[in-house]
Structure 1
Amino acid sequence: MASNGTFSVIGTDVTITGNVAATTELHVDGKIHGDIECASLVQGESSMIEGAVKAESARLAGTVKGSIAARELVVLRTARIEGDVHYDSITIEQGAEVDGRFSHRVPGRSEAMPSPMSGAASDMASELEPKLTLAS
């Protein structure tokens, strides 16, 4: 996904029913009833997303009811998430609410549940330990 410096805004007065795709940054202040796929997502505090979110980077401040897959994820204190979260790196502010499972994505590995590891595989896994940052 190439970015040419532009972004799209879905205002507070807008409700979209259906999937949304953007090749640049998407700023959502309204309501979306459908899946979102974009390069970068910025979600406003009063916004609601009911569907899956897939983005390279996401900064969530509103409500998401659905799974989230992002390389870089920031969950702000006002965020309310109901769904599983798949990430490469994550920052969660104190006060954010997440009702779902967290799953660290390892490059080159499928999204399926990992098999039990032993020996050299477990040594390699410790180097790929999930990075979790709690912000205050």
Structure 2
Amino acid sequence: MFSKTADPTAAPPRPSMGGGSNTRSILAADLKITGDIRSTGSVEVLGEVDGTLTAQSVLIGSDGRMIGDISAEEVEIKGHHEGRVASQGFTLRASAEVKADIGYSKLVIESGAQIEGRFYRNKV
């Protein structure tokens, strides 16, 4: 019959900042970032980044642009990237335009992708 209701003046609960690898950050198409970005989860670049990007996984969308270094377990590029990449799994989609030196353990390049640079396989 009786129940306790939440205090309407209390602050809402805050989301956990645990930093697990299940977090996902999306950098929107209208966003331009200059500087370093670090995440323990995945980062999706739809806008422009000029700097370094370190994350569990990185996706550069079709209209995304990145100038700088990427370090991630998995990297997928559909847009434009100039710089260096250190990854375990590296995927270039057909729409990709890349000028980079790329370290990888697993490599996928779709027909139509444009690449200028060097590839080197990570030592096991």
Q: 1:47 aligns with which of 28, 44, 64?
A: 64
Q: 1-side partners of 2:46 and 2:115: how far apart?
A: 20
Unaligned 5+ runs, structure 1: 108-136
> Quick check: 2:34–2:49 contact (8 Å CA) kept in 1?
yes
CA–CA distance in 1 between the matches of 2:74 and 2:28?
Answer: 20
Taking the aligned partners of 1:82 and 1:52, their CA distance within structure 2 comes to: 11
1:15 to 24, 27, 32: 32
Sequence identity, in percent? 27
Matched, 1:105 2:122: yes
Identify, as 1 or 2, the structure richer in helix.
Answer: 1
Distance 2:110 2:63 in 1: 17
Alignment of 1:18-97 (within 5 A): 18-97=35-114
1:42 to partner: Cα distance? 1.2
Which consecutive residues of structure 2, in runs of 5 or more, have no partner in the other structure? 1-18
Higher strand share: 2
How high is the TM-score relative to the length of structure 2? 0.82
C-alpha distance in 2 between matches for 1:84 and 1:19: 19
Aligned residue pairs: how many? 106
User: Structure 1 length normalisation: TM-score?
Assistant: 0.75
Following TM superposition, by how much is the alpha carbon of 1:43 offset from its aligned partner in structure 2, in angstroms?
Answer: 1.2
Q: What do residues 40-95 of structure 1 show as CA deviations (whole Å, max 9, x unaligned)?
A: 11110001100011100011101001011110111101111111111010100001
Shift, 1:6, TM fit: 2.1
Q: Is the radius of gyration larger for structure 1 or structure 2?
A: 2
SS in 1 for 2:105: strand
SS of corresponding position for 2:112: coil
